[in-house]
Amino acid sequence: MDTLSFRPATHADIPALVALVTSAYRGDVSRQGWTTEADLLDGQRIDPDVLARDIGRARSRILVAERAGEMLACAHVAEEDGAGYFGMFSVRPDLQGGGVGKAMLAEAERIAREDWQLPTMRMTVIDIRDELIAFYGRRGYACTGIKKPFPYGDERYGIPKRADLRFEILEKPLTGAAA
């Protein structure tokens, strides 16, 4: 089997990135994996214009994982408020649970720690996603106790099916962490 490789996304990748992120979180195809938000949200999961800005801004990288030239996963890693930020984490639903995601997370942490010398990685997770929070907990992330409101009314983030969605902030120290 070919080795997993990582590269920064380009603007030419935007249509494939939108398709990958959507497949991991929305609609029936997302139900093949365990990261689906299909019971929580409809609509888009990523806005192409926001994605284009994230590709172009400093200290921001849309990371793509490929094997034999095929896009398998992606994530956004950036510097925000002196810490690393990890988001838009998507693995093709039929490959979830096979180690691609763990490798992607480790590479994003390496970028924040080694390339940008950041002490911490943070992320936001919908707070009722217990299985997802537990996944990150097994990788050294802890809930900070900080909650943020879900952006109801902004369809760039999806159309909520529930009225009780909030974001939980998770954090992991990167200093001295192994890749």
The pLDDT value recorded for residue 129 is 92
Q: Comparing C-alpha atoms, which of 38, 2, 26, 44 is closest to residue 158?
A: 44
The pTM for the full model equals 0.91
What percent of the chain shows pLDDT beyond 70? 97
Q: Comparing C-alpha atoms, which of 37, 5, 32 is closest to residue 157?
A: 37
Instruction: Please tell me the least confidently modeled range out of 35-39, 45-49, 99-103, 117-121.
Output: 35-39
pLDDT in tens, 123-156: 999 999 998 999 999 999 999 999 999 999 988 8
